[in-house]
Structure 1
Amino acid sequence: MLRTLPDPEQAKPCVLVVDDDEAVARAIAGRLGRDFRVVGTSDPEQALPLAREQHPGVILCDINMPRMQGDEVAFALSQDPATAQIPFIYLTALVSPEEAGELDAVFGDYPAVSKSASTEELRGVISWALGLDDD
């Protein structure tokens, strides 16, 4: 009898992307898919149930969304013991990659990354949040 091999996709660190623009979530998934398992939702109200189900290592969340703003998503996640310890990073089009650092701690104690950041910068921020060495 053959032994079932583990799914290599499941072994990758999971990144949950919350953005009301599905194209943004797909683009980020495409950019990160080599190194991370990316799960996305365009409905911010699904962030908490998805985080509970998928156990992501980090959450990237848009700031400006209809129905539920990024800070409301961050607050909901912080109030749930199952998701409160997951690193949270704001994903924003409000600033350029060079200005993203200026948003750190503006919306709570969470860092921010520009949606137009390079793939390397995006990977670096995620690796930092996951506590991985980015060699």
Structure 2
Amino acid sequence: MPLRPLPDPEKAKPCILVVDDDEAVAWAIASRLGADFRVVALTDPRLAVAFACEEAPGVILCDIDMPGMQGDEVAFALSQEPRTAGIPLVYLTALLSPEQAPDLAGVFGEYPTVSKMADSAELLAIVASMLGLDGGDASP
């Protein structure tokens, strides 16, 4: 009797969607999270909305200032779709340092904001928090 194929361990990891029109930034953030999560980095916000509708990632990290579709427009589009309305979204900004990012609390509604310059530990902590993982432990 042949053995059943084992599940893909990458698919077992929570999916994180990173949306940034700057490909280098998107991949830099994705690479910092990739050891603990299955990360998809997209540079086109419209494709990101479509991806979120199809795949329902656990968390979306979304740039605020993008051509064609701003971060708040992405958030609004996702909030209007029942399949994506409950997905936690965190805004990414290059305008503030990691120390200044907490100053934006409440500026973008209920969406937290993290600096693109945040270190890996801070990125992991905010993603783990958004996923409801205990103590910021990023292990699924």
TM tier, smaller: over 0.9
Q: 1:123 is matched with which residue? A: 124
Identical positions, percent: 67
Give, in whole Å, the separation in 2 of the partners of 1:104 and 1:57.
Answer: 21
Runs of 4 or more consecutive aligned structure 1 residues displaced over 4 Å after TM superposition? none
Give, in whole Å, the separation in 1 of the partners of 2:48 and 2:102.
Answer: 24
5+ long unaligned stretches in structure 2? none
> 1:90 deviation in Å?
0.1
Listed one character per residue, the Cα deviations across residues 56-107 of structure 1 (whole Å, up to 9, x for unaligned) are 0000000010011100100000010000000000011010001111112211
Partner of 1:127, secondary structure, is helix
TM normalised by structure 2 equals 0.94
Q: 2:51 is matched with which residue? A: 50
Q: 2:87 is matched with which residue? A: 86
5+ long unaligned stretches in structure 1? none
Partner of 1:48, secondary structure, is helix
> 1:53 deviation in Å?
1.6
Q: 1:60 is matched with which residue? A: 61
TM normalised by structure 1 equals 0.97
Q: 2:133 is matched with which residue? A: 132
Q: 1:39 is matched with which residue? A: 40
Give, in whole Å, the separation in 2 of the partners of 1:37 and 1:106.
Answer: 29
Letter in 2 for 1:101: P
Listed one character per residue, the Cα deviations across residues 26-65 of structure 1 (whole Å, up to 9, x for unaligned) are 1111111110000111001112110012210000000010
Partner of 1:89, secondary structure, is strand
Give, in whole Å, the separation in 2 of the partners of 1:106 and 1:51.
Answer: 24
